[in-house]
Amino acid sequence: MSESESAMHGQGALAEGSPYAIPSRKLTMWLFIISDAVTFGAFLFAYGYIRVATPNWTRPFETASVINVTLMTFVLITSSLTMQGAVDAAKAGDKPKAMRFLYSTMALGAIFAALHIREWFELFSRKITLSSGLFGQTFFTITGLHLLHVISGVIALLVIAGGYSRNRLTPGYVETVGLYWHFVDLVWMFVVPLVYLTNIAVAH
């Protein structure tokens, strides 16, 4: 019996099947994702209103930063594709291929984090920090929270990949951590336009 069927019919006589026909692990991840989405939503709404309400807002990003963030976005979207490859290969029972995709996803996540930190140091060199004003406070809070999610995701992938390669974890775990990874990608799709692309330096 597959995990979905088990979830639907229940494992024992007293167990009640899931109304969504998904394992409880996956439903828990969905609920976590929703609560996390609301957390990011609160930060982005706060940023949006402060941004619009503040005259003379700092707009520090020049072409080099836009190229960097384009590269970061490319890396993160590609990591979602490799994650999808890992999930599908795991479901198909192709463990070596799933592991290759998982390692690729982790490597892309690490590259993304490195590019992100490079961007931060570039801002530090221009005296833009967490304490340098409203832009610094909102920018470093939102991107810091996202970076924390990426780093957590890489660690989670490492743990799941280790368990899956030793047959301690089922492909369902790969799918569940995949949901989290796609969510991190999805949040970035809001962070980039709101936090980076509306703050490009105006040429005079």
Residues that bind other proteins (CB under 8 A): 19-22, 27, 30-31, 34, 37-38, 41-42, 45-46, 48-53, 66, 70, 73-74, 77-78, 80-81, 83-85, 88-89, 92-94, 97, 179, 182-183, 185-186, 189-190, 192-194, 197-198, 200
Q: Tell me how far, at minimum, the Cβ of 64 lies from other proteins, in Å.
A: 13
Tokens 């828990």 sit at which residue?
Answer: 28
CA distance 165 to 21: 26
What b-and-e string marks burial along 11-20, b requiring 16 or more CB atoms within 10 Å of the CB?
A: eeeeeeebee
Report the interhelical angle of 171-191 vs 134-165 (nearest 10°).
160
Closer of 11 and 45 to other proteins (Cβ): 45
CA-based nearest residue to 21, from 6, 1, 42, 40: 6
User: Coil, strand or helix: which one is 10?
Assistant: coil
Q: Tell me how far, at minimum, the Cβ of 131 lies from other proteins, in Å.
A: 19
Q: Tell me how far, at minimum, the Cβ of 130 lies from other proteins, in Å.
A: 20
Closer of 37 and 145 to other proteins (Cβ): 37
Burial of 88 (0-12, 13-18, 19+ CB in 10 A): middle
Q: Tell me how far, at minimum, the Cβ of 150 lies from other proteins, in Å.
A: 15
Closer of 132 and 199 to other proteins (Cβ): 199
Closer of 165 and 198 to other proteins (Cβ): 198
